[in-house]
Structure 1
Amino acid sequence: MGKKTIHVSDFSGTVLRPDDEVVRVVVLEHPDLVAGPVQLDATVTEVEGIDDAALDVAVVEIHDLHAGGEPRRVVLTASEFDAMATDTPMAQLLRTAERVRPPKARKSTEKIDYGTLDHAGRPHRGRVTEEEARLVREQLDEVNKRLADAGVRQIDPADPEHALRYGFPATD
């Protein structure tokens, strides 16, 4: 018995032929997106109007005492944001404003223990210990939820590489 894989557009459900140019669309933010970024497949014609539909927006963070001191991200149209500048045009303000420097990355001297539930299953180059493999096998749903929340790949026991790495039984 043979198997045949058919690829379809996530947008329209149309079968994608081998000669179709497939476009990968990564959704970074959406009100219905709950577990981090996702990717969708589509044809070039399905997404050709996406640039025309794009909005000019400003994405800002408000740093105040709300939300326990955590900044809150706000998306608004660029024209609404520009209208907030009443003394100097916004374009000029943005050119002369103080630059925000990202925080310097600290080198961690602590080794991550992948044999704990907090880190088990995260992608890493090192050898998978029996403790990590056991945690992944026994608590796969919890591990995959944590991985999805972090926006990293989830573990699929049917994937031969994952099965070998974490000791899942081979499937035929």
Structure 2
Amino acid sequence: MGRKTVHVSDFSGKVLQPDDAVVRVVVLEHPDLVAGPVQLEARPIEIESIDDAALDVAVVEIYDSHGGGEPRRVTLTASEFDTLATDVPMAQLLRTAERIRPPKATRKAAEKLDYATLEHAGKPHRGKITDEEAQLVRDNLDEINKRLADEGIRQIDPTDPDHASRYGFPLSDESTD
């Protein structure tokens, strides 16, 4: 018995032919997105209007007493944000404003992660996948994928040849009819 995999557009449900160009769309934020970023696939024609529909937005973090010590992230149209600057134009204000640098991740923190634990197993890393990590991923795939999704990290697909070889999942034989 053979197996045939058919890929379809996530947007239209139409079958993608092997020679079709496929566009990968990563949804980072959406009101209905509950478990972190997701990946969708589509034909280029299905998303060609996306740039025309794009909004110019400003994403700001507000540090005040309302956040309980944590910043509030707010997204608003750029033109609405621009109206907040009444002394000088927003473009000039942004050019001359004090620059901030995001905190640097320390290399030591990354080196201390134990990927052979449920807390870190399956996270992408440069090191070799140990037998312990691979076994943990195989035995707890659903739980690990849920954690990865919650953290906004790619999930492990046992049917993906790269993931299958990295984590020791059996490779399925695909054939075309």
TM-score (norm 2): 0.80
Hey, what does 2:69 align to over in structure 1?
A: 69
Cα distance, 1:121 vs structure 2: 2.4
What is the CA–CA distance in structure 1 between the aligned matches of 2:112 and 2:42, rounded to whole Å? 41
Q: What is the CA RMSD across the aligned residues, in angstroms?
A: 2.5
Q: Give the distance between the partners of 1:128 and 1:31, measured in 2 at CA.
A: 38
Q: Secondary structure of the residue that 1:146 maps to in structure 2?
A: helix
Corresponding pairs, count: 171
Alpha-carbon distance, 1:81 to partner:
0.5
Q: CA deviation at 1:169?
A: 6.5
Change (3 A) 1:91 1:148: same
Structure 1 stretches of 5 or more lacking a match?
A: none
The residue number in structure 1 matching 2:60 is 60
Question: Identity percentage over the alignment?
Answer: 75
Alpha-carbon distance in 2 for matches of 1:88, 1:116: 53
Q: Whole-Å Cα distance in 1 between the matches of residues 5 and 171 of structure 2?
A: 21
Counterpart contact for 1:128–1:165, Cα < 8 Å? no
| Amino acid in the other structure paired with 1:121 | G
Kindly indicate whether the alpha-carbon contact (under 8 Å) linking 1:58 and 1:81 is maintained by their aligned counterparts in 2: yes
Partner residue of 1:97? 97
Q: In the alignment, residue 40 of structure 1 is paired with which amino acid?
A: L
Distance in 2 of aligned mates of 1:14 and 1:62: 43
Q: Which structure's relative contact order is higher, taking Cα pairs within 8 Å and 6+ residues apart?
A: 2
**Rounded Cα–Cα distance in structure 2 between residues aligned with 1:36 and 1:148:** 5
How far apart, in 1, do the equivalents of 2:114 and 2:99 lie? 37
- Report if aligned partners of 1:10, 1:41 keep a CA contact under 8 Å in 2: yes
Query: What TM-score do you get using the length of structure 1 for normalisation?
Result: 0.82
Distance 1:114 1:126 in 2: 10
Q: Are residues 53 and 70 of structure 1, via their aligned partners in 2, closer, same or farther at CA, if it must alter by over 3 Å? A: same
User: Structure 2: where are the runs of 5+ without partners?
Assistant: none
Return the alpha-carbon distance in structure 2 between the equivalents of residues 133 and 20 of structure 1: 34
Q: Distance in 1 between matches of 2:138 and 2:22?
A: 35
Query: Is the 8 Å Cα contact of residues 64 and 71 (structure 2) preserved in structure 1?
Result: yes
8 A Cα contact 2:129 2:167, kept in partner: no
Instruction: Report the Cα offset of residue 157 of structure 1.
Output: 4.5
Distance 1:4 1:56 in 2: 43
Shift in alpha-carbon separation, 1:25–1:160, aligned structure 2, 3 A: closer
| Deviation by residue 1:35-54 (Cα, 9 ceiling, x = unmatched) | 22222111222111111111
Shift in alpha-carbon separation, 1:92–1:23, aligned structure 2, 3 A: same
Q: Aligned letter for 2:140? A: Q
Q: Structure 2 CA distance, aligned partners of 1:165 and 1:28?
A: 26
Letter paired with 2:108: S
- Structure 2: how far apart are the matches of 1:26 and 1:169? 28
Alignment partners' CA distance in 2, 1:102 and 1:43: 36
TM-aligned CA distance change 1:61 to 1:21, over 3 Å: same
